[in-house]
């Protein structure tokens, strides 16, 4: 079954070809315009399915040629897949016309209304709008998890693999656990992109780690504000008892914000905001 929605961009970006001359077919031009890089490696698909452990309702941003779509359905998921390329969407809709496990939506995943029932997101997503898709997932109240094949650098940054933590991760940590999964080399895609990918797993926690969303986020945003060059200097502009809170959290007095683990922020919130 296929539906029509607004178009967006769903596949991995790639470097522009040095030669922009002729010789390209309409399909080649469409792939270039939509930055399409399809997942073609069976082992990479297996890694995605293992990480996602799909069941129930699964939304897939960017079905492409349907390799991951069929794997999700075979694993037991009820798949609603979004594809912006009308040619690809039409082809997949035709192939799945009699398959009750798969619904093909022609259009922009990020423009879709999130289901009210529990659901997961699994997809090989475009580098160019990775943050937009992640933000959509984090805002969806019924989302249980997101398993996303992203640029490896992005996945490492969001999961603290560089030894530093980003604002997005810290700010959402009480509600979501971020985990870096397997690396998927660039050779697993066609056309081949310029960088490797990795599996990013975002899981909603059964219970939040803090009881005050606004007070926690205000604390974190102040810390990331950069006043004075350290977490201590930033927090002392508004809170009392900062030194004792830092000691309880195991945070050095001169620590810069990116080096503070999300769990330490939870402890700081417990000492300064409760």
Higher pLDDT, 24 or 100: 100
Do 56 and 163 sit in the same domain of this protein? yes
Answer with the one of 165, 182, 204 that is the final residue of a domain.
204
pLDDT at 127: 86
As annotated, the binding site for S-adenosyl-L-methionine includes 37, 39, 62, 83, 108, 124
CATH number for the domain harbouring residue 223: 1.10.8
Question: Per the structure block, which two tokens stand in for 266?
Answer: 């939870």
Do 188 and 268 sit in the same domain of this protein? no
Tens-digit pLDDT profile for residues 40-91: 999 999 999 999 999 999 999 999 999 999 999 999 999 999 999 999 999 9
Do 144 and 230 sit in the same domain of this protein? no
Beta pairing partners, 3? 105
As annotated, the binding site includes 37, 39, 62, 83, 108, 124
Do 124 and 165 sit in the same domain of this protein? yes
Task: Give the chain's domain count.
Answer: 2
Answer with the one of 158, 185, 204 that is the final residue of a domain.
204
Do 196 and 221 sit in the same domain of this protein? no
Tens-digit pLDDT profile for residues 155-192: 999 999 999 999 999 999 999 999 999 999 999 999 99
Sign of CA dihedral 101, 112, 68, 50: negative
pLDDT at 36: 62
Do 56 and 105 sit in the same domain of this protein? yes
Q: How many residues are present in the chain?
A: 274
Tens-digit pLDDT profile for residues 118-139: 999 999 998 889 999 999 999 9
Among candidates 221, 226, 204, 227, which has minimal Cα distance to 268?
221
Answer with the one of 204, 237, 255 that is the final residue of a domain.
204
CATH number for the domain harbouring residue 116: 3.40.50.150
With contact defined as beta carbons under 8 Å apart, do 204 and 139 qualify?
A: no
Do 50 and 83 sit in the same domain of this protein? yes
253, pLDDT greater than 50: yes
């Amino acid at each position: 079954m296929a539906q029509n929605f607004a178009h967006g961009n769903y596949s991995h970006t790639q470097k522009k070809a040095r030669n922009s001359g002729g010789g390209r077919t309409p399909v080649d031009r469409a792939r270039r315009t939509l930055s399409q890089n399809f997942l073609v490696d069976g082992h990479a698909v297996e890694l995605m399915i293992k990480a996602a452990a799909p069941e129930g309702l699964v939304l897939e941003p960017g079905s492409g040629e349907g390799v991951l779509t069929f794997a999700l359905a075979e694993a037991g998921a009820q798949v609603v897949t979004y594809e912006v390329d009308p040619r690809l969407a039409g082809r997949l809709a035709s192939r799945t016309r009699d398959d009750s496990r798969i619904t093909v939506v022609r259009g922009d995943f990020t423009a879709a209304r999130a289901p009210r029932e529990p659901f997961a997101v699994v997809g090989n997503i475009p580098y160019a709008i990775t943050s937009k898709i992640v933000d959509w997932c984090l805002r969806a109240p019924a989302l249980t998890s997101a398993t996303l094949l992203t640029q490896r650098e992005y996945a490492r940054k969001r999961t603290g693999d560089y030894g530093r933590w980003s604002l997005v991760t810290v700010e959402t940590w009480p509600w979501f656990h971020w985990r870096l999964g397997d690396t998927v080399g660039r050779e697993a895609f066609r056309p081949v992109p310029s960088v490797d990918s990795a599996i990013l797993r975002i899981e909603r926690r059964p219970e939040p780690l803090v009881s005050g969303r606004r007070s926690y986020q205000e604390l974190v945003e102040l810390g990331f504000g950069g006043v004075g060059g350290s977490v201590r200097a930033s927090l002392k502009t508004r809170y009392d008892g900062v030194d004792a809170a830092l000691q309880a959290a195991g945070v050095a007095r001169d620590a810069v914000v990116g080096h503070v683990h999300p769990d330490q922020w939870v402890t700081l919130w417990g000492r300064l905001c409760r």
